[in-house]
Amino acid sequence: MKATRSATRTLLGLFTAAALPALALSACGNADGAGSSGGSGASATDRGGGAGGQGSAQAAALDTARATFAGTGGQQIGSATLIGTPHGVLVHADLEDFPPGTHGFHLHETGSCSPDFTASGGHFNPHGTGHGFFDPKGRHVGDLPNIHVPESGSLEIEYLADLATLGEGEAALLDDDGAAIVVHQGGDDYRTDPAGAGGERIACAVIRG
């Protein structure tokens, strides 16, 4: 985990240009808390695989998960593939019929989008850090750069969630309660704790292994 910290800094440099002024909408992360829910569930997953020895580690790093985005009306508006790598989780998403503009794009802590998108909880934050790339006290494992949807409403993106894993350790997306990808109405300002002031959730996708 320590080795990924320097990579984080590099990513931050790349993405600061994408920051836009916050939209003054209600925050999304009402259940974010101080990361109290992430740790214990993930360790249970770890122990389950412990008896199998180390040979499974590399195979697990190459695992793939998928997610399908639903809009607020329940319509399908895109899909994503998530690939576990030795350096984090590569998130490749194809979005369609999204409202043009800047939107917060995060990994949230619970693998549920129903009965509404608040079921996905707050940002995935197993280490209990602050929110945002501008926060010197760290950033959430689930923090990702904003997306910028063109007038067509279609966008293909590829992000490395460099602090996350698919199934190994404390930062595993596929822990007992899973995780989801959530898109917000407005952009993440990368500093407002705990959710980035991106406002309402306009799309949600449960990550399925």
CA separation for the pair 133, 15 (Å, rounded): 9
Provide the minimum distance between the beta carbon of 133 and Cu ion in the complex, in angstroms, as a whole number: 14
Q: Is 182 in the site for Cu ion (CB under 5 A)?
A: yes
**Residue among 168 and 185 whose Cβ is closer to Cu ion:** 185
Count of chain residues binding Cu ion (CB under 5 A): 3
**Range in contact with Cu ion (rule: CB under 5 A) among 2-10, 38-46, 70-78, 175-183:** 175-183
Query: Which residues from 13-42 bind Cu ion, rule CB under 5 A?
Result: 28
Six-digit token string for 118: 């608040």
**Residue among 106 and 139 whose Cβ is closer to Cu ion:** 106
Distances in whole angstroms, Cα of residue 178 to Cα of each of 10, 72, 98, 173: 28, 21, 25, 6
**Range in contact with Cu ion (rule: CB under 5 A) among 36-44, 91-99, 145-153, 180-188:** 180-188
Closest-approach residue to Cu ion (CB): 106
Provide the minimum distance between the beta carbon of 28 and Cu ion in the complex, in angstroms, as a whole number: 5
CA separation for the pair 57, 52 (Å, rounded): 10
DSSP states of the chain? -TTHHHHHHHHHHHHGGG--PPP----S-TT-TTSTTHHHHHHHHHHHHHTT-TTHHHHHHT-EEEEEEEETTS-EEEEEEEEEETTEEEEEEEE-SPPSEEE-EEEESSS---SSGGGG-SB--TT----STT-TT---TTB---EEE-TTS-EEEEEEETT-BSSSSTTBTTSTT--EEEEESS---S-STTTTT--SEEEEEEEE-
Six-digit token string for 70: 């639903």
Query: Which residues from 91-130 bind Cu ion, rule CB under 5 A?
Result: 106
Provide the minimum distance between the beta carbon of 207 and Cu ion in the complex, in angstroms, as a whole number: 14
**Residue among 11 and 131 whose Cβ is closer to Cu ion:** 131
Provide the minimum distance between the beta carbon of 192 and Cu ion in the complex, in angstroms, as a whole number: 11
**Range in contact with Cu ion (rule: CB under 5 A) among 4-12, 53-61, 111-119, 176-184:** 176-184
**Range in contact with Cu ion (rule: CB under 5 A) among 35-43, 91-99, 126-134, 179-187:** 179-187
Provide the minimum distance between the beta carbon of 159 and Cu ion in the complex, in angstroms, as a whole number: 14
Provide the minimum distance between the beta carbon of 157 and Cu ion in the complex, in angstroms, as a whole number: 15
- Binding interface with Cu ion (CB under 5 A): 28, 106, 182
